[in-house]
Amino acid sequence: MQRHIFGPVLSRRLGLSLGVDLVPFKVCSYDCAYCECGHTTEMTLARQEFVPAGVVMAELRRVLSTRPALDSITFAGSGEPTLSLALGPVIAAIKREFPEYTVSVLTNGSLLSDTAVQDELLPADRVIPTLSSVSQQTFERIHHPDPSLKIADIIDGMVSFRKRYTGQLWLELFIIPGLNTTDEELAGLKAAIGRIRPDYIQLNTLDRPPADTWVRAASASELERVRTVLGTTGIGIAGTTPPVSPGVMGRTAAADLMYAMLCRRPATVEDLVRVTGLSGDEVTEILGSFERDGKISSHRMERGVFYAIVPELPARKG
């Protein structure tokens, strides 16, 4: 099983996506209320080499040796990818060795004011930072960021990066009804979007169990209202595009993929069926074996029952 590569998984935003995870669980500069990975365990703004670029590329070469059909190779996972000093070298190696693939980077945008981070992201085909509010108070309520972070500086970083970046800059707006959907909040976001000039905007909302239980998903009508206020041109809603249908996987490969996917985010039986191509009964059977081994737990939400990895308890001392 790969340690730093996962998937391909069926992404609501990017289609069939091979994930690259450069940061240990759960190292981030934010502790987002809506995060599907749970609460941040190590809050930091310090960039580190969590894993050598050579180790990641060795895994990628094995996975890509058969040239699988993919919509994206995506830097994401269980933390903030721009915190990794391996980010630039791995992106450069992919573009050099596998130029036929689209490279995407999902980022919270908190380090985009750093010119070294900007330099490393320039070869990527698509960079997708998150912006949820221009108000410091709302920003802190949603993201619980490192105390030194100011949303005005983060937006300035996005504007600065846009001036240098010639690839596709997509902006993710995570919508939490009643919090960043007021007229004042949306007016601020519209003004910031005008400064950042993204190529595309994706409206996203809660789809899996969040870190904080008070977060609720926006309805289709609420998302449409946000799109109307911001302007409908170049604004999409995540999850409204029909998913790509993958080929059927073997049972062992499917079980490995399911476990790797659940290690990073909760999923329903239907999610796993779309990713593996197995039947619902086959996916349920594999989940049952995970559950009997105490590896996963389940949680019911509006969209269905979500399965997630049970965190390992630290070993007792003495």
User: pLDDT tens-digit profile of 65-89?
Assistant: 989 888 899 999 789 999 999 999 9
User: Average pLDDT of 179-205?
Assistant: 95
Q: Would you say residue 246 lies in a domain?
A: no
CATH number at residue 302: 1.10.10.10
Identify any residues that bridge with 235 across adjacent strands, giving them in sequence order: 201
Give yes or no: residues 65 and 209 share one domain: yes
Give yes or no: residues 229 and 279 share one domain: no
Q: What is the mean pLDDT of the chain?
A: 88
Q: Would you say residue 64 lies in a domain?
A: yes
Give yes or no: residues 159 and 225 share one domain: yes
Give yes or no: residues 164 and 73 share one domain: yes
Give yes or no: residues 208 and 283 share one domain: no
Q: Would you say residue 315 lies in a domain?
A: no
Which of 237, 253, 270 is the endpoint of a domain? 237
Tens digit of each residue's pLDDT (9 = 90 or more) over 114-138: 999 999 999 999 999 999 999 999 9
Decide if 77 contacts 110 (C-beta within 8 A). no
Give yes or no: residues 52 and 122 share one domain: yes
- What distances in angstroms separate CA 98 from CA 106, 256, 315, one per listed residue? 20, 24, 41
* Number of domains present in the structure of the chain: 2
Q: Would you say residue 248 lies in a domain?
A: no
Domain range spanning residue 286?
Answer: 261-309
Give yes or no: residues 13 and 133 share one domain: yes
In one-letter notation, the amino acid at residue 273 is V
Q: Would you say residue 247 lies in a domain?
A: no
210 CB-near residues (< 8 Å, 6+ apart): 33, 34, 35, 36
- pLDDT value of residue 278: 78
Give yes or no: residues 178 and 284 share one domain: no
Which of 205, 237, 269 is the endpoint of a domain? 237
Burial class (CB in 10 A: 0-12, 13-18, 19+), 46: exposed
pTM: 0.78
Q: Would you say residue 252 lies in a domain?
A: no
Between 14 and 113, the higher pLDDT residue: 113
Give yes or no: residues 229 and 278 share one domain: no
Percentage of the chain lying above the pLDDT 90 cut: 60
Tens digit of each residue's pLDDT (9 = 90 or more) over 246-303: 455 567 767 877 787 787 678 888 878 777 777 888 888 888 888 888 888 888 777 7
Give yes or no: residues 186 and 220 share one domain: yes
CATH number at residue 120: 3.20.20.70
Give yes or no: residues 279 and 195 share one domain: no
CA distance 155 to 150: 9
Q: Would you say residue 41 lies in a domain?
A: yes
Give yes or no: residues 283 and 138 share one domain: no
User: Average pLDDT of 212-232?
Assistant: 91
Q: Would you say residue 223 lies in a domain?
A: yes
